[in-house]
Chains A and B, each alone.
Chain A
Amino acid sequence: MILLASPSADTLTTWKRGVGGLAQIFCTDTLDALKQSLEHSKPQILLLDHDLPGVGIPTGIADLIKLNPAIKIVVFSGPLADEAEWEIFKAGVRGCCHKSIDPKLLNSVVTAVLQGELWMRRTLTCRLLDELGKIALDQSNAKQATSDLLASLTPREHEIAALIGNGESNKQIALRLAITERTVKAHLTEIFRKLEVSDRLKLALIVTGSLNTLDQT
């Protein structure tokens, strides 16, 4: 099912003509009706007019995706600056088109997006790759920092950190290592200090590789 949402009857008519024959089509012209359709009709794709009242606010699109996380959204708007368009993609939309797009192209847009393609104008694609590179570098730095901090633990601290990663309590660790709980707590205090964490669950996530030390900030 294809859901079309625009306050303009003319726009809806044009879009309907453009995507006719692809799937069942449903139209809405208000944000409330759109939200209801997203929740109850479970459309595969939404063609969304950026001028629909309530959509243009920073959380507008993200709120719609929360109602139907599987939905693929293509936004139609007037000319947007690179930054504004990038923010729309970061909200989770799969395509962004100029409102004056040739209706004959709509069929291709919908088909491509439904197949998992990203309908992004070419001049914005380098921004996407730059963002990929930046995040990958941040991740790599965070992993390295975590690895360096873990290397600063003594063998005994390593042992205790690993047991925390297994979900064991101080009492269980004390029994397993034949030491007192007080000693376990003393080791833990030192581990927390070295790894710059404030609690055992963050420590467990770091030990199991689910969290990097830099992620906490």
Chain B
Amino acid sequence: MQPITVAIADDDGGRRARFERSLQSEQGIHVLADVATSEGGMAGNRRLSPRANISAIENVVARIRRLKPRVLLADMKQCTDEDCAMLVSLRRECPDTLVVLLADESPQQEERVMQALAKGARGYLNLEEDTPHISKAVHMVDRGEAWVPRQMLGKVMDQVLHWCHESSIEVNLDPTC
């Protein structure tokens, strides 16, 4: 059986090394070369630039396209608009790579995480609580399941139902002036 290939994109070198060590000790997982990021999240990366005349997002996407990881663990603590644009590009250019966010759990983050999940992320790891479960998350996401806490799933369902309800409202108003 082919091992699950994993790439880690995290600015924090120490944490990235811990993740790598933790995953490399697992059977059935192969950690690919460093996909490190710079300050400001993945989209801010300059070091990966093979050509100076293409955008930071294109650089990272090109790198992921070459590495072809099955799972990409991506530091998106800020979940900026650029990070979301990156997710859209990854989904389009690297559809076989499943992105799991490395995120903090805070109420301010919730909306951003929701946005990232809507843009194609297949889950998120809470950096404070989920680190011991990182290999389990990789295996589950590889199997086609999402790694999202049940509490967040409840909020995602609320959002889906809210939007479904909104779009089903028939506007039937008097056309006369």
Closest A-chain residue to B157, C-beta based?
Answer: A118
CB of A39 within 8 Å of the partner chain: no
Task: Assess A117 versus B150: contact at CB under 8 Å? Given A123-B144, A205-B171.
Answer: yes
Q: For B119, give the chain A residue with the smallest CB separation.
A: A133
Distance between Cα atoms of A98 and B108 in the complex (Å): 35
Does chain A have a CB within 8 A of B177? yes
Q: Please, how many angstroms separate the alpha-carbon atoms of A32 and B77 in the complex?
A: 50
Residues of A within 8 Å of B150, CB to CB, are: 112, 117-120
Q: Given contacts A118-B150, A129-B117, A202-B173, are A215 and B167 in contact (CB under 8 A)? A: yes
Is A83 an interface residue, CB under 8 A from the partner? no
For the complex, give the distance between the alpha carbons of A112 and B154 in Å: 10
Structural contact, B160 and A125, CB atoms closer than 8 A: no
* A94-B154, A128-B157, A199-B174 as given contacts; A122 in contact with B167, CB under 8 Å: no
Contact residues in B for A112 (Cβ distance below 8 Å):
150
Are B151's CB and A126's CB within 8 A? no
Q: What count of chain B residues pass the 8 Å CB interface test? A: 34
Query: Is the beta-carbon distance between A128 and B151 smaller than 8 angstroms?
Result: no
- State how many angstroms separate the Cβ of B134 from the closest Cβ of chain A: 17
How far apart sit A94 and B151, CA to CA, in the bound complex (Å)?
11
Contact-residue size bin, chain A (C-beta under 8 Å from the other chain):
35 or more
Query: A28 CB to closest chain B CB, in angstroms?
Result: 26
Question: How many Å from the CB of B2 to the closest CB on chain A?
Answer: 21
- Contact check, B173 vs A117: say whether CB atoms are below 8 A apart: no
Assembled-state Cα–Cα distance A215/B150 (Å): 31
Q: Given A94-B154, A122-B146, 19 more contacts at CB 8 Å?
A: A94-B157, A118-B153, A120-B157, A123-B145, A126-B145, A126-B146, A129-B118, A129-B122, A131-B160, A132-B114, A133-B117, A133-B118, A135-B160, A135-B164, A136-B163, A169-B177, A198-B175, A201-B171, A202-B171
Instruction: Give 25 CB contacts A-B under 8 Å.
Output: A90-B160, A90-B164, A94-B154, A117-B153, A118-B150, A120-B157, A123-B145, A125-B145, A125-B153, A126-B145, A128-B153, A129-B117, A129-B122, A132-B114, A132-B117, A132-B159, A132-B160, A133-B119, A136-B115, A136-B118, A136-B119, A139-B163, A170-B177, A199-B174, A201-B175
List the interface of chain A (C-beta within 8 A of B). 89-90, 92, 94, 112, 115-120, 122-123, 125-126, 128-129, 131-133, 135-136, 138-139, 169-170, 185, 198-202, 205, 211, 215-216
